[in-house]
Each structure stands twice: as structure tokens, then as C-alpha cells.
Structure 1
Amino acid sequence: MTAAQELLTDAARRAPETARLVLDGLSHTAAHEPPGGIQNPVAWLIWHAARQQDVQVSQLAGTEQVWDQGDWAERTGVNRSSGDMGFGDSAEQATSFLAENPQELGGYLEATVQRTVAYIQTLDDESLAEVIDSSWDPPVTRGVRLVSTIDDAAQHLGQAAYARSLVEPGWKAPY
């Protein structure tokens, strides 16, 4: 494994651990409570962290989304299509988000990360340096897109931990 693959793999594998900490003992009510009545709830944040990575990595790899392969809409109880990943959701859409089984969101994130890691293992330095979107300045490479999806997941999971601390006063992440 190359150094780049090792770093990307390590970074990607951190997301499910954070999600497990946030979801552990989380009530259904708290999972869906928007902090301050207007902020993104924990369930939406975890779902979005997984969805954005799933959609973007499946596009890079030319594969079907994990969301569809694992029947995750039914398993999580989320009534959103495979074309929906939450980008552009209004505050109302995010605060009304419902996952019938929010604990399964962690499983979906884990499955998405496993597929991401498997994809990373197929890439060499040349593949990571390939420009995949020249509409940006500077153009976006495959490696940069992977970093972006991993970073987006990390940020949303940090937000989920913070959101949980707001809706369950006294809860603190064990890190």
C-alpha cells in the first residue's frame, strides 16, 4: 500500500468510530431534535455525512451506491431517494428529516466507508493525481475529491457530536 493510500484509508476509517460514539445511547427523540429548533439534527448530520461520501465515491468508482446495494432506505427508515444526499436541503427539510431507525445510520456509514476504503486500495499515485473536474480553479483531482468527501464526513460528524451535546445537556463525547 502506498503512503497516500494509507493516509486516505486511516482518515476514512475514523468516521464510523465517531458515529458510534454519537449514536451510543442516543434516543430516537434526541436523534431528531433540531438544536435551537433550527439547526441540523444528529440523524440528518450522520445521514448526510454518509450520503455525500456514498454518492461521490460511487461516481468516482463507477459503481452503484451503497445506499441502493444494501437497501439502506428501508433499513434506516429514511424516505429519500438515491439521488438525494442533502446538499441544498432547506432548514425545514433538515429539521423535518426522519430516520425510523437512526442507529442503522451508523451501519450505513460503516458500509459506505468500507466501500470507500476498498476503492482507495485500487488507486495508484497516478490515479489519485488524475484531474476529474476541470471546471474548478485549480482543477480537482481524484485524490482531492476523496479528501473532500472524507473531510466533509468528519466535519458533519463533529457537528453531530456537538448537536447531541445541545439536545442532551450533560452528554459529552468521550474524546
Structure 2
Amino acid sequence: MESRDLLLTAFDNVEEAVRGAVEGIAPELLTARIDPEANTIAWLVWHLTRVQDDHVAEVAGTAQAYTDAGWHDRFGLPFDPGAIGYGFSSTDVARTQVSDPQLLIGYHADVHRRTAEFVGTLTAADLDRVVDERWDPPVTLGVRLVSVVTDDLQHAGQAALLRGSLERR
């Protein structure tokens, strides 16, 4: 098995987890909070998709789907188009008002497609390319992609847990 096939499977798992957390959900649950400071399902899925979009586009040398394909306009969120949710306050999470599960699913599907197209071109040698020198040791492409998968799966799992908790209320 090629390294890219493992990465493609991992990103497929992210997409499946996102769909499981959002598909068929009651729209009002997307922005419900289990306490005043908690993240919402909408914010978690928007954020994990923004991170994937931002990080993969950067290493692929391509435009982000969020701006390139008009997702920023469709979401209509009150944030700069470059915002990915990192460092957001509780107030910012509350301002992430998304009531259409299909919007989240559609944006993630677009990012997933773009990610798969890029990852499908990679060789094992590509994964050793340094993509971020700000760290010690510098971050390679392989490490960056695994980091994105790990972060995305954690957030998708949080969204699924929130959904289950909110649906049982």
C-alpha cells in the first residue's frame, strides 16, 4: 500500500465522520450549546473544514475552496475570509450561525474532493518535503497532513458527541 492511499483513507474517514455528525440533524441543534462557553456542532464542523481547507491549500499551492468556490459568501459569517476559527472566543463561536446542515456537508465535501485530488498525486518522497520552518524540527508535508487528519477527527468526534447529547435531551 502506498502512503498516499493511507492518507486518502484517513481523509475519507474524516469525511464520513463529518457526515455522521451533521447529516439529518435538526437545524436548531447545529448552534445549540450544552453550556454558555461550549463549542457548537456548526462551529466545530466549520472550523475543522476551514483548517483542512487552509492547510491543504497552502501545501498544495492552490486556492482555498472557502474563497475560490464562494463558500465564504454562502456562509455569510461575520469573519474575515481568512479566519479558520483558531483562537476564537466563546462570542465568536456564538456568532458562527449556520442553520443548514447541507451547507456544512457541501463545503466539507468540496474540501474533501480537493484534498483527495492533491493527496492522490503524492509520492512517498513528497511527504518528506519541509512545509513549515517555524518549528523545531521543521514540519514535513507528511506530518502536516497527519496533523490535519488528527485535528479533524477530534473535532468531528466532538460534534458527534454533542449531537448525541443534544438529541437525548
TM-score greater than 0.5 by the shorter chain: yes
C-alpha separation between the residues in 1 aligned to 2:31 and 2:38?
Answer: 11
Matched letter for residue 149 of structure 2: I
- Pair 34,96 (structure 1): closer, same or farther in 2 beyond 3 Å: farther
Matched letter for residue 167 of structure 1: L
Partner of 2:17: 18
Partner of 2:47: 48
Partner of 1:114: 113
Question: So what's the TM-score if we normalise by structure 2?
Answer: 0.92
Question: So what's the TM-score if we normalise by structure 1?
Answer: 0.89
- Which of 66-75 and 42-51 deviates more? 66-75
C-alpha separation between the residues in 2 aligned to 1:71 and 1:29?
Answer: 24
SS at structure 1 position matched to 2:35: helix
SS at structure 1 position matched to 2:137: coil
Partner of 1:104: 103
C-alpha separation between the residues in 2 aligned to 1:103 and 1:25?
Answer: 9
- Which of 40-49 and 76-85 deviates more? 76-85
C-alpha separation between the residues in 2 aligned to 1:145 and 1:134?
Answer: 12
Which ranges in structure 1 are unaligned for 5 or more consecutive residues? 171-175
- Which of 79-88 and 153-162 deviates more? 79-88
- Give the aligned CA root-mean-square deviation in angstroms: 1.6
- Which of 79-88 and 150-159 deviates more? 79-88
- Pair 101,55 (structure 1): closer, same or farther in 2 beyond 3 Å: same
Q: How many residues align?
A: 169
Deviation at 1:73, TM superposition (A): 2.3
2:45 and 2:155 in contact (8 A); partners too: yes
Partner of 2:91: 92
Matched letter for residue 113 of structure 2: Q
- Taking the TM superposition and a 5 Å limit, the aligned residue runs for 1:30-41 are 30-41=29-40
Deviation at 1:40, TM superposition (A): 0.4
Matched letter for residue 115 of structure 1: R
- Taking the TM superposition and a 5 Å limit, the aligned residue runs for 1:1-175 are 3-169=2-168
- Which of 5-14 and 98-107 deviates more? 98-107
C-alpha separation between the residues in 1 aligned to 2:49 and 2:105?
Answer: 9
1:54 and 1:65 in contact (8 A); partners too: yes
2:2 and 2:124 in contact (8 A); partners too: no
1:73 and 1:79 in contact (8 A); partners too: no
C-alpha separation between the residues in 1 aligned to 2:10 and 2:150?
Answer: 8
Deviation at 1:128, TM superposition (A): 0.7
- Which of 155-164 and 97-106 deviates more? 97-106
